Structure 1
Amino acid sequence: MAYFDAASAAPLHPVGRQALLAALDEGWADPARLYREGRRARLLLDAAREAAAEAVECRPDELVFTPSGTRAVHAGIEGALAGRRRVGRHLIVSAVEHSSVLHTAEVHEALGGSVTEVGVDRTGAVAPDAFAGSLRPDTALACLQSANHEVGTVQPVAEVAEACRAAGVPLLVDAAQSLGWGPVAGDWSLLTASAHKWGGPSGVGLLVVRKGVRFAARGPLDERESGRAAGFENIPAVVAAAASLRAVRAEAAEEAVRLRELTERIRTRVPVLVPDVEVTGDPERRLPGIVTFSCLYVDGETVLHELDGAGFSVSSGSSCTSSTLTPSHVLRAMGVLSEGNVRVSLPPGTPAEDVERFLAVLPGVVAGVRE
């Protein structure tokens, strides 16, 4: 099998696996205790926090570990809105955010808040001027992903962050897809990420709240993780997440060049090999490993199953909502073809031979489904 769904979950990095196994033996105790085993666990937790903060380019005391990236998003949005409730209850999101952001916005609106959804162009990018134009005196928080999880388009975070800073509004950046490739540029205020996107274990998220940002944690308070993530820390998973992040970052520059060349092959050759296909996303400002295309006259779920039978694991439909292949809200917002969608997201280390084999198999699969 060729695994082409790294945007959903990347395989565990070998360095992360080694760190996980070692930490299972050394990091099982309560890091809040003063005895030897507790101190050892605390050292591992602190070292992981420092390594993750270095990768994010923030202070260690600004970063907490959460049980997932989704929980980091929920806690970040809810805490920032609560911290600025005296300013107002207006929230800004882009139309192509991950479902964790959009679902939180829906809850906020149901509880009496107001939400502005900023549209995108046909590449999936927001216009900084349009985003800035949505800022109001009662805006409590703005949210913008660093890069899109379905089409790979990189968002103008630095420009939007500058506009938000000028208006005195904090910007939360969902960096789940991009953090493994590098830090997020710009003067953002909050950041979230998820370890299983960069080759860490599942069940570990990051929430960064810059110093000076008004933040009030929701729900019952817990003394752990600065009161922002309740519950006993999963230290082995946290250690593995930080170790894998450092490892993928060390390989990122070289691997980005290689994967970009492979996805460029798919972008240019699929429309030639398969009739009636639309390749989506920005051709230049995009993540290295993601390419998405949609085929007329086919059902995306059927294509997915046929490709699975041919040895390729890809995703289709709305890739962030559920196992049901509903039409993608991202593609609808972009105004592009949303049916018969295939997202290919290559993990680091993908052999070029696998991509060539995929390009050889795809035309027959689509033709068979159309017939």
Structure 2
Amino acid sequence: GLGGVPLVCDAAASLPWEPVPEGWSVLAASARKWGGLAGCGILVVRKGTRWRNPFPGEDSSPQEAIGEVDVPAAVAAAASLRAVAAEREELAKRARELTERIREHIAATIPEVELPGDPADRLPHIVTFSCLGVDGEVLLTELNRAGFAVSSGSACASTRLRPSHVLQAMGVLSHGNVRVSLHRETTEAEVDRFLEVLPGVVEGIRRLS
């Protein structure tokens, strides 16, 4: 951990796209993020970190056990992560080029928009933006009608329909926030069509409201 304090790192979004940074004590991630089976998670405990094993075994009683390890799912998670890591650099470069195009186009074509986060020191496949005076859920609905599945609210609790607590802590616009996540098969044509549709959708919502 940092300064002797144990640090739990949620690497669900970053692990398929970039190497794990230093300083963590426990690292958690979800295998479906890199092509593993849905419902399979990984927990990596750094050597020397104090923790309590939640699984059946010598150091836990049956009362404390929460279930057995799904070995086939764990093997599949490891194999798919190995495959993704082998092409990580190439995929991240391609995704970053697309998200930079999205950021630049949004900034140039949509008035009163905020693009939080560092333009360079960020995950390569995610773009977040907030449009002043535009409800995030309304924008999601209209984009969905146009054929685009994007997200709003907090990335770790998107179904709660609450503003992102991370954006609030950063002191930036959190209402009307939209998060665009690219995947390995996202094409340039799809990105271009999204950028073609987005300004008109935002303008239409503002006109109605």
Do they superpose with TM above 0.5? yes
Could you tell me how far apart the structure 2 residues matched to 1:185 and 1:314 are? 27
Cα distance, 1:194–1:229 mapped onto 2, change above 3 Å: farther
Whether 2:157 is the aligned partner of 1:335: answer no
Q: Name the residue aligned to 1:174.
A: 10
Which has more radius of gyration? 1
Whether 2:92 is the aligned partner of 1:256: answer yes
Answer yes or no: is the 8 Å Cα contact 1:307–1:362 preserved in 2.
yes
Whether 2:41 is the aligned partner of 1:205: answer yes
Could you tell me how far apart the structure 2 residues matched to 1:292 and 1:229 are? 39
By relative contact order (CA 8 Å, sep 6+), the higher-ranking structure is 1
Q: Given the alignment, which residue of 149, 155, 162 partners 1:313?
A: 149
Misfit runs of 4+, over 3 Å: 226-230
- SS at structure 1 position matched to 2:77: helix
Q: How does 1:41-52 map to 2 (within 5 A)?
A: none
Task: In structure 2, give the amino acid aligned to 1:331.
Answer: L
Q: TM-score, normalised by structure 1?
A: 0.52
Task: In structure 2, give the amino acid aligned to 1:212.
Answer: G
Q: Name the residue aligned to 2:194.
A: 358
Once the two structures are superposed, residues 307-352 of structure 1 have per-residue CA deviations (whole angstroms, 9 ceiling, x without a partner) of 0010100001223224132111111111001111110010112111
Could you tell me how far apart the structure 2 residues matched to 1:367 and 1:193 are? 38
Answer yes or no: is the 8 Å Cα contact 1:193–1:205 preserved in 2.
yes
Cα distance, 1:297–1:188 mapped onto 2, change above 3 Å: closer
- SS at structure 1 position matched to 2:180: strand
Q: Name the residue aligned to 1:270.
A: 106
Point out the structure with the larger helix share: 1
**Worse overlay, 308-317 or 183-192:** 183-192
Q: Percent identity?
A: 60
Deviation at 1:176, TM superposition (A): 1.4
Q: How does 1:156-195 map to 2 (within 5 A)?
A: 161=1, 164=2, 167-195=3-31
**Matched residues, number:** 204
Q: Name the residue aligned to 2:180.
A: 344
Q: Name the residue aligned to 1:223.
A: 57
Task: Report the aligned-residue RMSD.
Answer: 2.0
Answer yes or no: is the 8 Å Cα contact 2:17–2:91 preserved in 1.
no
Could you tell me how far apart the structure 2 residues matched to 1:296 and 1:237 are? 44
Task: In structure 1, give the amino acid aligned to 2:76.
Answer: A
Q: Given the alignment, which residue of 279, 285, 309 partners 2:121?
A: 285
Could you tell me how far apart the structure 1 residues matched to 2:158 and 2:23 are? 33
Q: Name the residue aligned to 1:56.
A: none
Answer yes or no: is the 8 Å Cα contact 2:128–2:180 preserved in 1.
yes
Deviation at 1:189, TM superposition (A): 2.0
Q: Name the residue aligned to 1:150.
A: none
- SS at structure 1 position matched to 2:175: coil
Answer yes or no: is the 8 Å Cα contact 1:255–1:349 preserved in 2.
no
Q: Given the alignment, which residue of 154, 159, 177 partners 1:323?
A: 159
Answer yes or no: is the 8 Å Cα contact 2:151–2:158 preserved in 1.
no
Once the two structures are superposed, residues 132-154 of structure 1 have per-residue CA deviations (whole angstroms, 9 ceiling, x without a partner) of xxxxxxxxxxxxxxxxxxxxxxx
Deviation at 1:171, TM superposition (A): 2.3
Q: How does 1:95-106 map to 2 (within 5 A)?
A: none
Q: TM-score, normalised by structure 2?
A: 0.89
Runs of at least 5 residues in structure 2 that lack an aligned partner in the other structure: none
Could you tell me how far apart the structure 2 residues matched to 1:169 and 1:318 are? 26
